[in-house]
Structure 1
Amino acid sequence: MSYRDIVSRRVLTWALVAVGARMPVAMAPLALVFLVRERPGGYTLGATLAAAYVIGEIAGAPVLGMRLDPRRARPQLAAGLVAGALGFTGLGAFPGAPAPVLAAFAFVAGAGPAAAPGGLRALLTSLVPGHAAAQALSAESMLTFGVWAVSPAAVTGLALGVAPNLPLLLEAALMASSAVGLWLLPAGWAADGQDGQDGRGGSRLRVLARAWPVYVTGAASLSLLALAELVLPALLEQRGFGVGWAGPLLTVMSVASAAGAFVYGLRTWPGRLRTRSVVLMAGMSAAVTLLALIPAAPGMAVALAMAGLLQSGAMLTRNLSLREVLPPHALAAGYSVMYAAVGAGYAATGTLAGALLPLVAPSTAILAGVALTLLLTSVGWWGEIRAGRSARGAGALGPLDAATGPEGAAVRGGRDPERRL
């Protein structure tokens, strides 16, 4: 397999649309802080607005994602992106508005386009040959990590060098352009002749619910990122280093994540997806544990690079597992639920670390977060094994069983993530 299998004009167009949709998401939390930091209690208000934005994402992703029509998703995705653009426009145009008004704008900016990541991912995999799904998802991960690496510098430069509200107005323009760009892409993706049903009379909600172990492990994978991002400044102070090193160290992690996504897509890896996921999560946990224990800055950089390298693979295995578990018509909704789940994992671990920091050393807070991550990983792994055993006992392949090969077979209307059986 090769990345040449996914190179086409339509995939390039998709990439431009995806950048327009995802750059605002990456810029938003920091842009909200800069928007109000000069007001009384500005940093607290900025954190509140960022929380409202994230809550909007977590609430909007599953609700809107489950309503996507796979054959005619374009108008729905465009409407969500336009709603997000209006939310960002309100924030940028009225930076002096009362806090509740700004919080409402932030909520709309987060909730409106929350189904777009899942919809765009499902659309991408429909644009490439079935056997190239892993390469397509790897390329998507590289694009995403690139966007997240560039966004903080863009926000800081515009907010401090030009005007605090300019990043929000730029986000509105990017999101609106993404909505327009959708009309250069197909209106939807194949749903195998099904319309919101799993082929057995069950509702889409029941179809999505049987993939809960995948969502739990996905939440665990991003919880480690929360530890790295939120506790790193305090850990640097504990070690006697300037907090300014946090930016370069996180950039190292982002670059390593992009490299990991590229390497993952170069070949087919042995073992079941759930086994790969557990191995990668264990490696990530070990790397973050080393981050908490190593006193020297170069060692911390190496630990973060290792964590980033493994993180992208862990997320890719979860996305491939969803393709294995869910039928095509439910993929976009499944990706949206995953989006909400990883956001919830990020928030939960960040909250735990924030509650512990006043009480214990930053290194101890990181170790507690690693313990939570390992607990979530164990629960997800147990759920996948239990579902597979239950299905085998019933005489049929279960939704999470991968007994027929390294990537598993098509399941209940689903498909093999790399061979498209």
Structure 2
Amino acid sequence: MSYREVVSGGVVRWGAVAVGARMPVAAAPLALVFLVRERPGGYALGAVLAAVYVVGEIVGAPLLGMRMRPERARPQLARGLAVGAVAFAALGLLPHAHPVALGAFAFLAGAAPAAAPGGLRALLTGMVPDKAVTQALSVESILTFAIWAVAPAAVTGLALGVSPALPLVSAGALMAAAVAGLWMLPEGWRSDADDRGGESMARILVRAWPIFVTGAASLSMLALAELVLPALLEQRGIAVGWAGPLLAALAVGSAVGSFVYGLRTWPGRLRTQGMVLMFAVSACLAAVAVLPGVGWLLAVLGVAGVLQAGAMLTRNLSLREVLPPSALAAGYSVMYAAIGAGYAASGSLAGGLLSVVSPSAAILAGVGLGVLLTVVGVLGEVKPAASPGVVSAGGDVAERTPVSGGSDAERGL
């Protein structure tokens, strides 16, 4: 399949809505720090608000995602985004409010729209032919990495050049615009009312735990490297200002990797692809811990970004293979929460390790943990095969839909 299959007015409209819904998410942690940094103890308060925001995402994504009805997803998405828009605007308009009030708004801004990434992804894959799902997810990944590359610079420019409150007020306006844009999209996606075979949503999602584990491991390793990078540069005697270009190389590599993955059908099962890519990312990050020069770091982080994008796409495609359509939004939302939890855990691990070991040792420890989680996830995916669409004796559902040009990926997870 080629990308021509996903070039349509509907996908363009979806992209506009996705930017409005996701740019605030990418901007929020840094924007919260800038909002309160001039208060006494402002940086510490900003870090706490950012952490509360992430906790809101982790809590809200699975709870709201599991309640989403495929055939009427749009009203639920609109409500969540509307509440999120109000919470973002309140943060920007009330910057001197009591810290408890700011924390409540930050939690609400994270929790209320947390099911939107999963719901929008399910909407997108429902808008394209089944054989073009890989390309659609690649386009989504490219857009996401572009948003995360632009957001920090936009927040910094607005906060320092105009007003610390403006990034959050703008985030509220963008999210409100996304609410209006939802009515340019389908109301939901196709789903058979009986596609869960009478099983509860929770039980279906629990069966997919290995995919959630490997998804969390994938980002947690890169998050650890990102958080430790400034300290690593200081350890090497390299200007800390190089952290920006190095992280930009990682983001550009991820966008390139997303595009390349969607260009063709790749050999092997999704499980095998994901395992190989995860181990390759681990090798790159281990190299980051020992390579001495900026040039090497730029090259290795760029390659790590390419590989990371492929690893995350295999996880999203694996979810689509093992979950019925009615559980897709919930599955994507749980993946979102798992990734957020992995990132938060990496931040805590980085802070703890840096107080007792060198930055390079901290990265290697994080890589070791990521490899362990990857092995656990891969072993958890190895299960006896079942007939397509039939619930096995152990409660496992075999894959239903071929991916990317007809390759029956991940049969017998």
TM-score over 0.5 for the pair: yes
Match of 1:207 among 195, 204, 209: 204
Match of 1:334 among 313, 326, 331: 331
SS at 2:71 equivalent: coil
**Aligned residue for 1:278?**
275
Any conservation in 2 of the 1:210–1:399 contact (CA below 8 Å)?
no
* Aligned residue type for 1:118: G
Any conservation in 2 of the 1:198–1:413 contact (CA below 8 Å)?
no
Q: Distance in 2 between matches of 1:398 and 1:345?
A: 32
Q: Does 1:418 align with 2:404?
A: yes
- Going from structure 1 to structure 2, the CA distance change for 1:79 and 1:204 (only over 3 Å counts) comes to same
Q: Distance in 1 between matches of 2:268 and 2:393?
A: 18
Q: Distance in 2 between matches of 1:122 and 1:370?
A: 31
- Tell me the TM-score normalized by structure 1: 0.93
Q: CA deviation at 1:202?
A: 1.1
Deviations 1:255-297 (CA, angstroms, capped at 9, x unpaired)? 0100000000000000011111010000000000010100111
**Aligned residue for 1:108?**
108
Paired residues in the alignment total: 405
Deviations 1:45-79 (CA, angstroms, capped at 9, x unpaired)? 00000000000000000000000010001110000
**Aligned residue for 2:31?**
31
**Aligned residue for 1:389?**
384
Any conservation in 1 of the 2:265–2:405 contact (CA below 8 Å)?
no
Deviations 1:113-132 (CA, angstroms, capped at 9, x unpaired)? 00000000000001101000
- Going from structure 1 to structure 2, the CA distance change for 1:193 and 1:412 (only over 3 Å counts) comes to farther
Q: Distance in 1 between matches of 2:394 and 2:125?
A: 20
**Aligned residue for 1:198?**
196
Q: How does 1:175-186 map to 2 (within 5 A)?
A: 175-186=175-186
SS at 2:70 equivalent: coil
Q: Distance in 1 between matches of 2:206 and 2:355?
A: 37
Any conservation in 2 of the 1:328–1:414 contact (CA below 8 Å)?
no
Any conservation in 2 of the 1:327–1:415 contact (CA below 8 Å)?
no
SS at 1:187 equivalent: coil
Q: Distance in 1 between matches of 2:301 and 2:123?
A: 32
Q: Does 1:343 align with 2:329?
A: no
Structure 2, unaligned stretches of length 5 or more? 409-413
* Aligned residue type for 1:288: L
* Aligned residue type for 2:40: P
- Going from structure 1 to structure 2, the CA distance change for 1:109 and 1:398 (only over 3 Å counts) comes to farther
**Aligned residue for 2:17?**
17
**Aligned residue for 1:268?**
265
- Going from structure 1 to structure 2, the CA distance change for 1:398 and 1:277 (only over 3 Å counts) comes to farther
**Aligned residue for 2:411?**
none
SS at 1:72 equivalent: helix
Q: Distance in 2 between matches of 1:418 and 1:328?
A: 17
**Aligned residue for 1:406?**
none
Q: Distance in 1 between matches of 2:327 and 2:92?
A: 35
Any conservation in 2 of the 1:68–1:333 contact (CA below 8 Å)?
yes
SS at 2:67 equivalent: coil
Q: CA deviation at 1:351?
A: 1.0
SS at 1:268 equivalent: coil
SS at 2:164 equivalent: coil
Q: Choose 222-231 or 138-147, whichever is displaced more.
A: 222-231
- Going from structure 1 to structure 2, the CA distance change for 1:400 and 1:308 (only over 3 Å counts) comes to farther
Deviations 1:75-123 (CA, angstroms, capped at 9, x unpaired)? 1000000111111011000001111110110000000000000000000
**Aligned residue for 1:156?**
156
Q: Distance in 2 between matches of 1:136 and 1:9?
A: 14
Q: CA deviation at 1:400?
A: 11
Q: CA deviation at 1:228?
A: 2.3
Any conservation in 1 of the 2:210–2:381 contact (CA below 8 Å)?
yes
Match of 1:317 among 314, 318, 333: 314
Q: Does 1:189 align with 2:175?
A: no
Q: CA deviation at 1:389?
A: 2.5
Match of 1:225 among 217, 222, 226: 222
Any conservation in 1 of the 2:231–2:359 contact (CA below 8 Å)?
yes
* Aligned residue type for 1:121: R
* Aligned residue type for 2:145: F
Q: Distance in 1 between matches of 2:134 and 2:394?
A: 19
Q: CA deviation at 1:222?
A: 0.6
* Aligned residue type for 1:351: S
Q: Distance in 2 between matches of 1:31 and 1:77?
A: 24
* Aligned residue type for 2:65: G
Q: CA deviation at 1:396?
A: 7.3
**Aligned residue for 1:407?**
none
Q: CA deviation at 1:310?
A: 0.4
Any conservation in 2 of the 1:211–1:400 contact (CA below 8 Å)?
no
Match of 2:248 among 222, 246, 251: 251
Q: CA deviation at 1:399?
A: 9.9
Q: CA deviation at 1:414?
A: 3.7
Any conservation in 2 of the 1:391–1:398 contact (CA below 8 Å)?
no
Deviations 1:214-245 (CA, angstroms, capped at 9, x unpaired)? 00000000112211221101111111112111
Q: Distance in 2 between matches of 1:7 and 1:284?
A: 31
Q: CA deviation at 1:303?
A: 1.3
SS at 1:84 equivalent: helix
* Aligned residue type for 1:364: A
- Tell me the TM-score normalized by structure 2: 0.95
* Aligned residue type for 2:401: R
Structure 1, unaligned stretches of length 5 or more? 402-410
Q: How does 1:76-155 map to 2 (within 5 A)?
A: 76-155=76-155
Q: Does 1:42 align with 2:42?
A: yes
Q: Distance in 2 between matches of 1:98 and 1:106?
A: 12
Q: Does 1:55 align with 2:55?
A: yes
Q: Choose 55-64 or 184-193, whichever is displaced more.
A: 184-193
Q: CA deviation at 1:347?
A: 1.2
Match of 2:290 among 288, 293, 297: 293
Q: Distance in 2 between matches of 1:18 and 1:188?
A: 15
Q: CA deviation at 1:344?
A: 0.8
Any conservation in 2 of the 1:399–1:412 contact (CA below 8 Å)?
no
- Going from structure 1 to structure 2, the CA distance change for 1:413 and 1:235 (only over 3 Å counts) comes to closer
